[in-house]
Amino acid sequence: MTIDPQIKEAREHLIRARAVAVLTGAGISADSGVPTFRGTDGLWRNFRSEDLATPEAFERNPRLVWEWYNWRREVIAAKKPNEAHYALARLEAGKQNFHLITQNVDGLHRLAGSKKLSELHGDIWKVRCTSCRLVSDNRDVPLSLLPHCRTCGGLLRPHIVWFGEALDREVLDASLSAVESCDVLLIIGTSGLVYPAAMLMPTAKAHQAYVIEVNLDPTPYSSDVHLSLQGRAKDIVPLLL
């Protein structure tokens, strides 16, 4: 099978790279059947994620927000990592200096064996008490609604960063230092619309990293990256590594 010259170019940069950073978005999990945020399949009862993934929505109607997350947990619980997730876990094993930054909350990178991983927007399989702030694992599918803290009885919320909420400082700092020191930044399956995650690409470029994008469609990044590979993550990513 002829290896597309772009893919050959990307492979050469990745092989030569001493330090590699990867940024993923919902597109890498789309190949596992997880609905993306902004694709048509991402809607639920005609709500947009921006309407439900906010502290105000949870304040106003915690049951509705928990019903949405229950639906997503049910969908995700049945999904498996795909060849793109596994290829990244292999790349991590093969590189001295590697860091995977994901905007996804589905836990599929961890399931595929990725260890050097920053989950910018939290983890759908963790809950946090709104009173005592205790964070715990919770894999109940479905979750009994409304869930309360076993320690203090407070209302539990998803341990996820909502719109208008600050990202965890340490997670963001680790991600920034990874893109500031990498030789190659590989961006897979993100529309590049959500901040501050969207700042990671320009930051990498400002630090002379070689930036490669893998996406089904053109994105706001496409004209700024060094190499934009158009296609499905599960088909392209394994060819790069």
Residue ranges binding ligand BV8 (CB under 6 A): 25-27, 30-31, 36-39, 42, 50, 53, 103-105, 121, 160-166, 189-191, 193-195, 214-217, 219, 232-233
Catalytic residue status for 121: yes
Given a contact cutoff of 8 angstroms between Cβ atoms, the answer to whether 60 and 107 are in contact is no
What is the smallest separation between the CB atom of 126 and Zn ion, expressed in angstroms? 14
Catalytic residue among 13, 85, 99, 121: 121
Choose, by CB under 5 A, the member of 93, 132, 145, 199 that binds Zn ion.
132
Chain residues 70-129 in contact with Zn ion, contact rule CB under 5 A: 129
> Which entry of Zn ion, ligand BV8, none binds 62, CB below 5 to 8 A by partner kind?
none
User: Looking at this protein, which amino acid is placed at residue 133?
Assistant: R
Choose, by CB under 5 A, the member of 76, 100, 124, 149 that binds Zn ion.
149
- Nearer residue to ligand BV8 within complex by CB, 96 or 137: 137
Which span (80-88, 141-149, 202-210, 215-223) binds Zn ion, by CB under 5 A? 141-149
Using alpha carbons, list the distances in angstroms from residue 222 to 189, 218, 228. 12, 6, 6
What is the smallest separation between the CB atom of 96 and ligand BV8, expressed in angstroms? 27
What is the smallest separation between the CB atom of 148 and Zn ion, expressed in angstroms? 8
CA 174 distance to own-chain centroid: 15
Q: In the bound complex, which residue of the shown chain has the CB atom lying closest to ligand BV8? A: 27
What is the smallest separation between the CB atom of 116 and ligand BV8, expressed in angstroms? 19
| Beta bridge mates, 157 | 128
- Nearer residue to ligand BV8 within complex by CB, 1 or 166: 166
Using alpha carbons, list the distances in angstroms from residue 49 to 45, 46, 141, 226. 11, 10, 20, 31
131 binds Zn ion (CB under 5 A): yes
- Catalytic site residues? 121
Contacting positions for Zn ion (CB under 5 A): 129, 131-132, 149, 151-152, 154
